[in-house]
Amino acid sequence: MLMWSIATVLSASVDAFAQRPTVGVRVRVVDSSGKTVAGASVELVRELATRVATGTTDSAGVVSVRAPRDQELELVVRRIGFQRRSVFFRSDSADRRFDLTLQPAPVSLAAVDVTASRDLNRARYHLDADDIAQSKRPIDDGLDAVLKLRPDMAKPPNDGIYSSCGLYNVFVNGVRIRYAPIDMALAAKAHQERLAAMMAVWPGRPPHFTTQSLIPVSIQSVLATIRPEHIEEMNYVGCADTKSADIVRAQNGLFVVLKRGVAYEPGRGSYVVASDVSVAEAPATAPTTTALNGSSKNFRSRIVGIFDEETGSPLAGVQVMDVKSATFATTTASGTVSLVFLPEGSNELGVHLPGYEDLRLTVMISPVDTVPVTLTLRAAKKP
């Protein structure tokens, strides 16, 4: 009798799980010329690492999957030879349809000759979505990402206990966040850690502050409201860096770029933009201007490729900055970077890489200006 009851309960649980409400998600993938892309891997991811659905596009570049209803999900598309694409959306009651364009990755030429100092700075002061997703340690929020994966952003090495270097300003999508509500729990923890450090001082030894206690509580409060799966990229500008960003408070600043479909508000944190429409980025015939979540557009993801003028090698770690807002991103190992952080219209870009001459240029972001931009950098002359 007991065994029958247990079997009945288990059967009912399985039936209830199977009847959970879901929505259909249809994805069509094309390349920049409008040609369908077969064999692309499509995943629906929840909370950074939980895959709720997977599939592969067919010969028509299409795949259909089912997603749990009323959740915030990230749609990730990958295909060898193309740049990874992703977009956030809410799986509300209606079925969703996405038409996404993959940009080709440039063909690698000669190996990149990266200096030790350049490689070290990138490792210390740069963090992207792949770094967070591949972390073996659980990451709870943006503050956790800094403390666990890039603590040098908060406490630059070899700067001394009382140095003016550190993490004192934060920009989210190019906007400096100054008046966000203070997290009282973080404030209490910071006070306790600083008090404990001062009480442990004895002659000949300065106080030992934890890395977290060195970050102002106002900055901690902002980063703690940014979900890790929403982060596209983080870049830190040190106090000695006068070229990466040309605006006030850029030094000692952390620049956070959020993924497409994600917005930020002080007090609310990062969130997926509400949407009543599907994402349509690239019909098969012509460039599209269909709204992404009611605001962004497909041409916002224009690609820049940067190469060495003499060797033709792709250059990694190049800082590509919007001069007006000081938001910047860095090129990947393939020498490419997406300009998704730029607003529509004419934008002035600053391009900087140690050992090379700086470059400035004007780039248009519009429905008719979608062709990838290719740049070459000339090695700086030795004094």
Do residues 350 and 342 make contact, with C-beta atoms less than 8 angstroms apart? no
Task: Select from 70, 102, 134 the last residue of a domain.
Answer: 102
Q: Is residue 315 part of a domain?
A: yes
pLDDT grade, residue 278 (50/70/90)?
Answer: very low
Q: Which one of 18-22, 23-27, 81-85, 93-97 scores highest in mean pLDDT?
A: 23-27
The reply to whether 221 and 293 lie within a common domain is yes
3-state secondary structure of 310: coil
The reply to whether 130 and 98 lie within a common domain is no
The reply to whether 223 and 85 lie within a common domain is no
The reply to whether 186 and 144 lie within a common domain is yes
What CATH number did the domain enclosing 58 receive? 2.60.40.10
Q: Is the dihedral of CA 165, 169, 171, 174 positive or negative?
A: negative
Q: Which amino acid is at 186?
A: L
What CATH number did the domain enclosing 283 receive? 2.60.40.1120
From 3-7, 201-205, 243-247, the region with the lowest mean pLDDT: 3-7
The reply to whether 120 and 225 lie within a common domain is yes
Do residues 194 and 220 make contact, with C-beta atoms less than 8 angstroms apart? no
Q: Which one of 44-58, 107-121, 236-250 scores highest in mean pLDDT?
A: 44-58
The reply to whether 82 and 170 lie within a common domain is no
Q: Is residue 193 part of a domain?
A: yes
The reply to whether 85 and 140 lie within a common domain is no
Q: Is residue 202 part of a domain?
A: yes
Q: Which residues, in sequence order, are bridge partners of residue 67?
A: 23
Task: Select from 52, 69, 102 the last residue of a domain.
Answer: 102
Q: Is residue 382 part of a domain?
A: no
Calculate the average pLDDT of the chain.
77
What is the tally of structural domains in the chain? 2
**Cβ atoms < 10 Å from Cβ of 324:** 14
CA distance 283 to 24: 20
203-219 pLDDT tens trace? 656 666 778 888 889 99
DSSP label of 369: B
**Quick one: which of 128, 32, 122, 107 has its CA closest to 314?**
107
Residue with tokens 């030992």: 208
Asked if residue 288 has pLDDT above 50, the reply is no
Q: Max Cα separation, the chain? A: 90
pLDDT grade, residue 302 (50/70/90)?
Answer: confident
Region 155-171: mean pLDDT is 72
- Hey, what are 307's tokens? 């190469």
The reply to whether 188 and 91 lie within a common domain is no
3-state secondary structure of 189: helix
**Quick one: which of 175, 263, 271, 178 has its CA closest to 221?**
178
pLDDT of residue 264: 92
226, burial (CB in 10 Å: exposed 0-12, middle 13-18, buried 19+)? buried
pLDDT of residue 223: 94
The reply to whether 120 and 216 lie within a common domain is yes
Task: Select from 75, 102, 129 the last residue of a domain.
Answer: 102
The reply to whether 56 and 122 lie within a common domain is no
pLDDT grade, residue 301 (50/70/90)?
Answer: low
- Structural domain including 182 reads 116-267+276-377
pLDDT of residue 295: 36
